[in-house]
């Protein structure tokens, strides 16, 4: 993948091409989104192969962008359970933050869910990540009165 996928206009949010999975994983590592106990490449491939999920991206629009920072400007993973949509792995390259790319990716994920009739979007943010809390506050996301429980299988 060099720049935009065939048929995409410059600046479009598109589905992540499978050959760009390593680039997405590298971006997630750089953004601090990965944890040693997770398999981000497996997460990405499962989302792309699933019927109820995908990974959206903002590819680089110019060869100079690609040379300076990789093939992707940002990503977001989105999926749903039939009622609630979820987003994960929202990441924008460090050198491109503050340009509205994160909001474009979130809005694209919202549109993807709306197109499938999903009425609510949920996401998880680590409690200590105040900068990300502020980002989602600006997008009118509110803290929900729920506790997330988990267990490794």
* Ramachandran sector of residue 43 (left: φ over 0; alpha: ψ -120 to 50; beta: rest): alpha
Q: Is residue 89 part of a domain?
A: yes
Residue 8, domain member (yes or no): no
> What CATH number did the domain enclosing 111 receive?
3.40.630.30
The per-residue pLDDT for range 36-49, each reduced to its tens digit, is 999 999 999 999 99
CB 138 within 8 A of CB 114: no
In a domain? residue 5: no
Provide the 3-class DSSP secondary structure of residue 29: helix
The predicted pLDDT at position 2 comes to 41
- pLDDT band of 8, cuts 50, 70, 90: low
Share of the chain above pLDDT 90, in %: 76
Q: Into how many domains does the chain fold?
A: 1
Full residue range of the structural domain in which residue 80 is found: 14-138
Would you tell me the crossing angle of helices 40-49 and 21-30 to the nearest 10 degrees?
130
- Residue that wins the pLDDT comparison between 51 and 69: 51
102 in a structural domain: yes
Distance CA 109, CA 114 (A): 9
**152: which 2 tokens?**
């490794």
């Amino acid at each position: 993948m060099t720049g935009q996928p065939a048929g995409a206009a410059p600046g479009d949010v598109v589905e992540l091409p499978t050959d760009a999975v390593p680039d997405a994983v590298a971006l997630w590592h750089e953004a601090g989104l990965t944890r040693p106990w997770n398999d981000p490449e497996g997460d990405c491939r499962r989302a792309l192969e699933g019927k109820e999920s995908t990974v959206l991206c903002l590819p680089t629009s110019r060869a100079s962008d690609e040379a300076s920072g990789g093939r992707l400007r940002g990503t977001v993973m989105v999926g749903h359970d039939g009622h609630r949509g979820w987003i994960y792995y929202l990441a924008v390259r460090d050198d491109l933050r503050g340009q509205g790319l994160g909001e474009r990716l979130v809005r694209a994920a919202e549109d993807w869910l709306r197109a499938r009739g999903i009425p609510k979007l949920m996401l998880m943010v680590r409690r200590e990540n105040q900068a990300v809390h502020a980002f989602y506050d600006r997008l009118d996301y509110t803290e929900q009165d729920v506790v997330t429980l988990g267990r490794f299988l």
